Amino acid sequence: MSKNYISLTAANDTEKNNTFVEEKGICRLSDENQEILDDVYVKETTCGFWIFKGSFLQRFANKKAFVFLYGIVGCLFSASYSYNSGTITTLEKRFKIPSRTTGIISVGNDISQLFVSVILSYYAGTKHRPRWMALGLYTVVLFCLMTALLHWLYGAGEDALLLTTEFGARYDENITKEVFEKEQRKSLCHARNRTSAECESLEGSYAPQIILFSAQFISGMGAPLYYTLGISYMDDNIKKSKTPALISISYFLKTLGPAIGYALASVCLKIYISPTLTPTVDNKDPRWLGAWWLGWIILGGIIFIFASLLALFPKQLPRAAARRFQRQISQASTLKQETEIPRSFKDMIKTFKRLTGNATLMLNNFAAIFYFLGYMPYWIFLPKYIETQYRQSASASSLITGTAGLIFSAIGVLLSGLIVSKLRPRARSLAAWNVIVGAISVFGIISYAYLGCLDNTQYASLINNGQYKQISQCNAKCSCDYVKYNPVCSEDGVTTFISACHAGCTEVSFVNDTKIYSQCACIESKNLDDTPTPGYGVTGNCPVDCYYKFYLFVAVVCLLKFTGATGRVSNFLVTVRCVEEKDKAVAMGFGLMMMSLCAFVPSPILFGIIIDKACLVWGKTCSGNGNCWVYDSETLKHTLNFTAAAFVTVGTLFDIGVWYFVKGLKIFDEEIEFELNEL
């Protein structure tokens, strides 16, 4: 690269650029300032560090390479959280964690974000942002590895091992009779009291939950740097006229993340939790535990590689640095005028006061807070919701959650970015569209409450005069308190019992590898002379025909994915344009802190409690309740969806306030741009 700053890209461009300078009346710097400016330019636009730099890397120092890599990293970043959502039900089963505790664990990263995001964004906003982004992503790598560590510390668990041929879920020549009879005693009806010695302990106590929370907490300390610094770096290094299109491309790549995360969860959950063992149940059985830990190792390794590549980008992209320095020259500026203002606590407080006094920014933040409050349960608990409402397997729920709206989200992001770049609408038009998106979201979420399967009535053993209870006359002497959840379907395919014990079954046999329970006191069968006798049951839930409403649910999800995606670019542009240039990074960090405090932390806990309140059957342990096995689907879908819709409604009202105050905001500035060749 030429040392003469005016040429910038090559020595033979000097004449063309000098002509441009003369025509525009741009002032020239003194030789001394020019030399200093050249040194600063080379230092800030050089790719790599230490021995990892050179002309090969320098060719990638352009906006297209950064947008692509930033989008890929965002894809992997969001995949890690969707993978966590896709495997959350399996984690609850494996470590017997109730949903309210899961909600508390999931806010670990939001709690750390609350305390450090705005401070890190303030101090790192003027530093080498790509390296700080990479450092933040390394905390996500640590989060992945710490979560996977649980499997190596605690193994597959007794529940999973007993469902394998190697450890005794069924009786054959390789399994001792004692092991088989032990399993019978746990699942069948016996006219005797089970002692407390037969209750199930919570394996590992609270240690697994503490490790999961710590992993989330660590990721929250660095992960915000990717978002706040990445967006400001991109906006500073791209012409404002091209920002919407390139931002939409990065968002498009990020939308692939949830699909990849859920697809990876689907694949991993189809593999048994201990791949070296042979399970005796398939992945449609509610007792199946998939290899939830496998995806964390894969994601952690890939994120580490791409985060390291991100760190190689320069402090500024060459073309953007050229435009910025030339703007100084055109204003007869010197290098001293461009030096960074020292960061201090006093200046940070002034910055916060300036941001809180910005009505447009604060209303936009409050709108985002209530949107996140309403959408959070679907991001975290949607696989569980699909499992409970539509009777899908954990693997199928993860796959559907990740892929159903992918195409529509991608189309929405790309289409909105291209339209905004082409038409360059006013700020009020962008804000008005956000109001429309909010209204569509409210009606869509309300419709969820009317799309579901009425399958609670099949649990006849739970329902008695409108009250839910597990014990009835036919199984009153079976002592089923500590029996594990193992659903059994009656021979007529209508009634589901939560276990063979609750069905009053006293015998078990295998027919073509299918477990058949017989002599079931709660299942009535009739002989040829119509004399009632104890019937039989088959392991598993009775089938429920719910495909029509399920397909309608998926259609509404796709619609909301599309409309929500079209509002991302407009929301971003309003956020970064309503503040001063120097406040962009800290404004996003400040907004993230507000959302962590008011939405990311309380929402999972609140909706975790709502989900637990709808529980009908808790797994009973020595110390109390474990995870929930059966939910009241009617209570769950009404309470959860109407609460979420109320939050989104409030967010839409705040968006109306943004529309009012955003009048006169300039989204696309006219600026002097150099016509330089692509680097």
Tokens 């005028």 belong to which residue? 337
CA 305 to CA 310: how far, in whole Å? 9
Domain ranges of the chain: 1-43, 63-169+176-187+207-339+346-454+546-661, 456-539
DSSP single-letter state for residue 49: B
CA 497 to CA 148: how far, in whole Å? 34
**Does residue 302 register a pLDDT over 60?**
yes
The residues pairing with 515 across neighbouring beta strands, listed in sequence order, are: 510
pLDDT of residue 12: 37
Among 417, 68, 409, CA closest to 230: 68
| Whether this model's pTM surpasses 0.85 | no
pLDDT, averaged across the chain:
77
Tokens 């069968």 belong to which residue? 525
Range of lowest pLDDT (15-29, 379-393, 558-572): 15-29
CATH topology of domain 63-169+176-187+207-339+346-454+546-661: Growth Hormone; Chain: A; (1.20.1250)
Residues 496-523: pLDDT tens digits?
Answer: 888 888 888 888 887 776 788 888 988 8
Among 498, 429, 420, CA closest to 459: 498
CA 246 to CA 249: how far, in whole Å? 5
Residues 212-264: pLDDT tens digits?
Answer: 999 999 988 887 788 878 877 887 777 777 777 777 888 788 878 887 888 89
The residues pairing with 279 across neighbouring beta strands, listed in sequence order, are: 164
pLDDT of residue 342: 59
CA 99 to chain centre: 16
**Mean pLDDT computed over 447-467:** 64
Range of lowest pLDDT (13-22, 92-101, 144-153): 13-22
**What is the sign, positive or negative, of the torsion defined by CA atoms of 468, 474, 480, 485?**
negative
pLDDT of residue 458: 60
**Does residue 670 register a pLDDT over 60?**
no
pLDDT of residue 5: 39
**Does residue 198 register a pLDDT over 80?**
no
Helices 394-403 and 359-390: angle between axes, nearest 10 degrees: 140
Greatest distance between any 2 Cα atoms in the chain: 112
Among 644, 676, 118, 62, CA closest to 374: 644
**What is the sign, positive or negative, of the torsion defined by CA atoms of 317, 318, 323, 329?**
positive
The residues pairing with 380 across neighbouring beta strands, listed in sequence order, are: none
User: Could you tell me which residue, 98 or 41, shows the higher pLDDT?
Assistant: 98
pLDDT of residue 399: 64
Residues 19-57: pLDDT tens digits?
Answer: 433 443 444 545 555 555 566 667 777 887 777 777 778
**Does residue 640 register a pLDDT over 50?**
yes
pLDDT band at 331 (very low <50, low <70, confident <90, very high): low
What is the SS3 string spanning 196-227?
HHHCECCCCCCHHHHHHHHHHHHHHHHHHHHH
